[in-house]
């Protein structure tokens, strides 16, 4: 309760209510299409709270939802996908760990501009239908670039999904496997991010209980999202979600430019 009192004193009770609503929405979209929770959370909660608080709020819900996403098709399938993409995940984890230390020294405006620009660029590319293709002989090179870029954004802003998703799509990864691989990469990254931010101070006696409480709306939204994922056309829903992400990215850019 002391943590919530501190959050309320800093941002107001309505900010907490908005944070719970944003987390439920983010969980729903993640359950339906397998990604976007960090982007929606940092964008949405970052509108009413500081960037560091928004990142902290995202960490534990991300950890739990990624775990469920990874094992939804069974533990054996998860292990197989982990072995297949071990190099990508290893480089990703190392990069996230070292870049996470930049959060407390990087200006907030730069954080919003970097994240907002990345989300807007990624979302727009997908909406207009651009689909890159990875040649098998260059797979390791693309894997390295993807892991480094994703790890940078992951450590800096807690968002490493877009580069990985673009890479998996370029590899023509089947939908079910793609969602599972995303979940594994997100889970491993979440574990490193949690450890890194326990050390950086982003997760502290105030933000940690707040992040734990937000696991509840995240999971509630995710289970509803799973129901939707199994019953509607994924292409249509995914495109609608990308429009939402572009709007979220533009909002982050607005905050970066205007403060």
Number of residues that make up the chain:
259
pLDDT at 189: 85
pLDDT at 259: 63
pLDDT at 222: 97
CB contact set of 258 (below 8 Å; sequence gap of 6+): none
CA-wise closest residue to 148 among 103, 66, 87:
87
Q: How many domains does the chain have?
A: 1
pLDDT at 24: 98
pLDDT at 196: 83
Reduce the DSSP state of residue 65 to 3 states and report it: helix
pLDDT at 130: 75
Dihedral Cα 110, 112, 118, 122, nearest 10 deg: -170
Give the mean pLDDT per block of 10 residues along the chain (259 residues): 84 95 95 86 90 91 95 93 94 88 76 82 84 77 92 77 81 84 91 85 92 97 92 77 82 80
pLDDT at 135: 76
Q: How far apart are CA 256 and CA 259, in angstroms?
A: 6
Q: Are 59 and 193 in contact (CB under 8 A)?
A: yes
pLDDT at 258: 79
pLDDT at 132: 67
Residue 105: exposed, middle, or buried by beta-carbon count in 10 A (0-12, 13-18, 19+)? exposed
Q: Which domain holds residue 182?
A: 2-258
pLDDT at 112: 78
pLDDT at 97: 84
Reduce the DSSP state of residue 206 to 3 states and report it: coil
């Amino acid at each position: 309760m002391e943590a919530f009192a501190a959050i309320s004193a800093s941002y107001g009770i309505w900010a907490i209510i908005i944070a719970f609503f944003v987390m439920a929405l983010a969980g729903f979209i993640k359950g339906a299409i397998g990604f976007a929770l960090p982007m929606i959370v940092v964008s949405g909660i970052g509108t009413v709270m500081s960037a560091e608080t928004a990142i902290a709020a995202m960490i534990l819900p991300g950890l739990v939802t990624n775990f469920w996403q990874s094992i939804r098709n069974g533990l054996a399938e998860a292990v197989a996908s982990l072995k297949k993409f071990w190099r990508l995940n290893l480089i990703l984890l190392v990069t996230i760990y070292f870049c996470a230390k930049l959060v407390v020294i990087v200006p907030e405006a730069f954080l919003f501009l970097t994240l907002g620009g990345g989300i807007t660029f990624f979302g727009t590319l997908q909406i207009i239908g651009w689909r890159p293709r990875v040649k098998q002989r260059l797979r390791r090179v693309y894997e390295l670039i993807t892991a480094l870029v994703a790890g940078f954004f992951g450590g800096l802003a807690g968002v490493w999904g877009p580069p990985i998703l673009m890479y998996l799509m370029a590899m023509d990864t089947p939908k079910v496997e793609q969602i599972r691989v995303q979940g594994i990469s997100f889970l491993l990254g979440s574990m490193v991010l949690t450890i890194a931010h326990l050390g950086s101070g982003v997760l502290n006696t105030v933000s940690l209980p707040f992040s734990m409480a937000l696991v509840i709306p995240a999971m509630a939204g995710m289970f509803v999202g799973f129901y939707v994922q199994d019953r509607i056309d994924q292409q249509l829903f995914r495109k609608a979600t990308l429009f939402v992400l572009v709007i979220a990215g533009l909002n982050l850019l607005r905050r970066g430019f205007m403060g």
